[in-house]
Amino acid sequence: MRHSAKPLVAVSASYMEIAERRHPAYASSAKNVDALLEFSGCIPLLVPAAGDRLDAEELVEHIDGLLLTGGRANVEPHHFGGAPFPPDEPIDPGRDGIMLPLVRACVDAGVPIFGVCRGIQEMNVALGGSLHYRCHLVPGMQDHRMPRHPEVTQEEIFKLRHEIRLTPDGSLRGYAGAASVWVNSLHGQSIHRVADRLRVEATAPDGVIEAVRLKQDPTFTVGVQWHAEWKPEEHDLSRTLFEAFGEATRIRALARASGGAGQLRVNPPLRAATA
């Protein structure tokens, strides 16, 4: 029995080549693991981008949560009926191949999900939505990509760039206790058609969808477009989301330890919202 065990959270890892592209690796930014350890109180378990060599249905039986991280490669458009990528576009078919079915398996099993940047896009595609290839090419939308000049620092890359408006009756509005917050911005793709099973929780001034949540969510199934793992100790909403995700995984872990299904509702710690 695992009554006292910490929740086990699967963390999506991306395929990459290191050491001048001589050594293939599966990796995730240390910031993702650090945020889980510090603010969610979970045990992180990296899941390699190994495609159908992994069984999503089998994996979901052993985890209490899923953190979908950011990544350089975008979700391939054949998963949502989009136009083919240019030949030089980075892709990660192994990650698509395991994470899209794993999202669906987690939703079906009531396993908490927190999607960040690429993660919100994976959630939307897995549940039947589509993506803009480059949101800055959509009329009226701004350029949300990170700066790439040679001298750019991490602080500049991840600094707060624009405000987002939180849906008035949404759970993120309750988490934030405010109508809007400022977030960072490091993405090229964005949600186009929202999956039927998701509701919009936040938007940028130009209309880019910044957060979604599963409708009638029995646990915590939330995706955000910004990088919430960047210094959550300095960003109240990001920290609160990691804390709420951690609480949902603990409920799941207790239910699994006692033989329950784990599909228990986690209500957000609502605060008085301001107009």
Residues catalogued as catalytic: 117, 227, 229
- At residue 80's C-alpha, the angle toward residues 75 and 86, to 5°, is 55
Residue 164 host element (H or E): strand 162-166
Which has the closest alpha carbon to 81: 119, 128, 141? 128
The closest alpha carbon to 247, from 62, 104, 115, 114, belongs to 114
List phi, psi (to 5°) of 56: -60, -40
**What is d(CA 35, CA 204) in angstroms, rounded to the nearest whole number?**
24
Beta bridge partners of 162: 183
Which one, of 146, 116, 133, 115, lies nearest residue 226 by Cα?
116
